[in-house]
Amino acid sequence: MAADTADPSPPRISLITVCWNAERTIADTLRSIDTQTYRDFEHIIIDGGSSDSTLAIIASAPADNRRVLSGRDGGIYEAMNKGIGIASGDIIGFLNADDTFESSNSLETVAAALDDEAYDGCYGDLIYVSNQHPDRKVRYWKSCAFESGTFGRGWCPPHPTFYVRRRIYERFGTFDLRYRLAADVELMMRFLEVARIRTIYIPRVLVRMRLGGATNKNVQNISRQNKEVLSALADHGIKVSASMFWAFKIVNRLGQFLMRDRSRDLSD
């Protein structure tokens, strides 16, 4: 009997959306998800018990691959952990209620990158857009291939573009709830700097993110988040100079604002 030479099935993605009182933006998020050309994914919505019309908007856009859980939780990272806990896909990623995919083939790009079992995860670039005018680019977060030590220089991948295999969460853990604003950075630091998972950088924009989220809504939260990142570095035994960390961070952010007008060319 001839050996089976059929190609392995493409990876199944679990896409998790965390939301709470997101009536102003959730429809855009759902639309960008439902128009994805890659269809082998499940969409899990973890709602924090919205009191506005968020749930009604979600109900008005049913999809066979969508599951909705609603109830009070301890915040965004606890909700993300809840989503990870029920995810059934080979790969897990997040698109929150004020984010949209940059194009209809963003998930297809992720799936193609991780079709190669040599890689545990992938990430790409992100555009920050105006909260009120999402067509207006504000910052272009161009990432790069990971190199050891870069987290200590204020670098990290854009979390909304970060996809990893479910087995990585099972082996190295989920979001650490001790970090209220930087649990996503700590998790990526733990996976890349400490566990040294194998990732591939996708040099194109995958996601648009509105300004005004929990971390970047004011200077106090930005400062607090970066202090948490420094604490995470110390917790993982990564020695850094706080002054150099802040200097690299400032230079990096200035570069993102300067590059915003080049994002169209660089994402092609």
The backbone torsions φ and ψ at residue 99, rounded to the nearest 5 degrees and listed phi first, read -115, 155
- Predicted pLDDT of residue 3: 46
For every one of its 268 residues, what pLDDT tens digit does the chain have, with 9 covering 90 and above?
Answer: 444 445 567 899 999 999 999 999 999 999 999 999 999 999 999 999 999 999 999 999 999 999 999 999 999 999 999 999 999 999 999 999 999 999 999 999 999 999 999 999 999 999 999 998 888 999 999 999 999 999 999 999 999 999 999 999 999 999 999 999 999 999 999 999 999 999 999 999 999 999 876 555 567 888 899 899 999 999 999 988 887 787 767 777 666 767 655 544 444 4
Cα–Cα distance for residue pair 57/164, rounded to 1 Å:
29
